[in-house]
Structure 1
Amino acid sequence: MADVLRLARDGAAPRLFLLDLLFPGQSPQAVTALRQAFKRSSIVIVSMVEDRALIDEVMAAGADGFIGKATPPDQIIAALQAVSAGEFVLTLGPAGLPEFVKSGHALDQLTPRQQEVLQLVARGLSNKEIARELDISPFTVRIHVSSLLHTLDVSTRTAAAALAAKAGLD
């Protein structure tokens, strides 16, 4: 990780970091160090790791996206474009939405605060705007968004907003 930080500091700040958690020195703490050093850069993890707790930890540490290596190339491209557009992405692979998401039951798994955040995401508010609306920090909003993407098993805010609209939460 020290080499990544050194190389990134030697030139203009990178727009995007692509990291794999299985490489030596990569960890949620490494993501935190990158986020602190490069606040405006996007950080995306592309990895075979499937441990949802570790993925949540990495997203909470400041990653903008997590893309599973089993994800088809066209979906990887779409995920990277979504991150470039300012969205948070969680894509684990080609399986698609599980049946409980399709039926709407996943929305029942959200906490009341996550449901509030989802409603505001569906209205198109940014993390900063959601933070102001709910009187919480943008970092806390980021954690809620990451968690609800995980719970809903969708890869972007747009997909989460679509599920919310379909369920009448918007």
Structure 2
Amino acid sequence: SFIRTNAEELGVDSEFFDNMDIHIHVPAGAIPKDGPSAGVTMLTVLTSLLTNRKVKKHLAMTGEITLRGAVLPVGGIKEKVLAAYRAGIKTILLPAWNRKDLEDIPANVKKQISFHFINDMMDVVKLALEPVKEKKLPVVPAKKRKPVMSVKKKKSASIRKKVAKAKK
């Protein structure tokens, strides 16, 4: 729902959802888990796929999401941060509601990780995905360029008449 609602702002092809519908269902018996902590990560991956933007390296994230994209608190922050630290992660995105849980993290670990506190999925998209690359026009060396030629008055008048006629 979040991606569909924000498709234009995210850069998702406007016609994608005309022909395609995506529903991710993670039933209780499928994969062992202790809660909805992977919601932020799954939605980030899906957004990355649909926008053709890479997820930044050395990044971890956790958080439950609502259908409107709000990020909710999750449990097990200390364990998740320590696991990320052991894996060499340098940046962690956490729900803003979990800020207080950093009190349980050893100081030496906190110094080596950059924490960002997120309130909604737009925060996550801005922090987790590589920026949109602007399409650059090819540079043509001056020697290969064709010179610009002026249009003669008679020819330009003729062109204006054709354009005016086509508009009618």
TM-score under structure 2 normalisation? 0.26
Rg larger in structure: 2
TM-score under structure 1 normalisation? 0.26
